[in-house]
Chain A
Amino acid sequence: MKKFFALFFVVLLGACATTPAEPDYDTKIFFVDPGIKLQQLEARHFTRENDGHILVNISGIGTTNQTVYYKVDWFNEFGMPMKSIMSTWKSAKIVKNMPFNWSAVSPSPKATTFKVMITKNIGDGILN
């Protein structure tokens, strides 16, 4: 009988558990540190017709005052990453309740897709 009640409560509590909320940004493009909360995060982009370069505007609204690092990685049509100084971490200040806009341009017309990474900590870079 005791076992039955224990099982009953476990099932009951399990049903009450909240499932983690889905991020409201495109998870195929954005990789965001779970500790960073941003609103209306989006990346609008278009390919410039006369030279094939992709121009990206990353925008959102900050929920706290903080410094973050972001990086845009570019990939060619085969999905291979394109090495460029354009794909390095950049720091940015985010202000609570204020919109932010970051822009990026593809390093070459060969770049067809991109990913945006946002984190609070990029480590000290020392390799052990």
Chain B
Amino acid sequence: MKKYIVSAALCSVMLLSGCATKTELIDIENDSTERAAGLEYRDFESSARNMVAQMLASGNLNKPGGGRYVLIISRIANNTMQRIDVDQLSKKIRIELINSGKVAVTNMEEDARVMQSRQLRKSKEVNQATVAKKGALIAPELSLSGKITQREFIVSGDKRIEYTFALSITSLDTGLTLWEGEETIIKRADKNAITW
């Protein structure tokens, strides 16, 4: 009897593993596969792309007299029901802006090592000529901040999910906004679709 049970269990395992969907690699540059109801990489990419295109086309990031602005990434609030690493958006934008030659991004607040490395000035073990000099850090001139919001409605029996990405670039000197942009992504999904 035991033999039969073991064989039946083995058969079931083999049968079920045969039904499992195999893992496939997706080419993210040519991906038209089904969309998720939640925010996914294509939403961050299209929002970042459209907003960077607006920033560059506006010409507002052209520094008078030439050169690059120094930009700091401030808070991008996540007002959605999802756990999102907002770096998924901000990283794409900063990469494009750095490559555009319009801005240099300061990492002095994000990378604790920038300030820690200054404490080496007290160390006798470190060649002081190689330690960061006083007054070498460059203060930011512009700040990138924003908000991602989510609203949900039931329309004609389906769930409509509206996501809005709103970003601003503000001059830290004057407090004036140099550029503002907003991208809306609207998805329709089954009313039972869970987005968090």
Contact = CB atoms under 8 A, between A and B. Distances in A.
A pairs with B: yes
Given A126-B26, A127-B25, A105 B32 contact: no
Interface residues of B, number: 27
Contacts of B49: 85-86, 88, 90
A126 B24 contact: yes
A127 to B, nearest CB: 4
B80 to A, nearest CB: 21
Interface stretch (A13-21, A29-37, A47-55): A47-55
A84 B25 CA distance: 21
A86 B96 CA distance: 9
Contact count band on A: 20 to 34
B96 A85 contact: yes
B96 A55 contact: no
Interface in A81-128: 84-86, 88-90, 103-110, 121-128
A123 B30 contact: yes
A108 B100 contact: yes
Interface string A39-58: 00000000010110101000
Contacts of B100: 53, 107-109
Nearest to B53: A105
Contact of A50 (B25, B48, B59): B59
A122 B96 contact: no
Most buried by B among A50, A85, A86, A126: A85
B52 A85 contact: yes
Interface string B183-195: 0000000000000
Contacts of A126: 24-27, 33
A85 B45 contact: yes
Contact of B56 (A53, A89, A123, A124): A53
Interface in B97-145: 99-102
B160 interface: no
B28 interface: yes
Interface in B48-100: 48-49, 52-53, 56-57, 59, 62, 92, 95-96, 99-100
B31 interface: yes
B29 interface: yes
Nearest to B26: A125
Closest 7 CB pairs of A and B: A125-B31, A127-B25, A105-B57, A125-B27, A85-B49, A125-B30, A105-B56
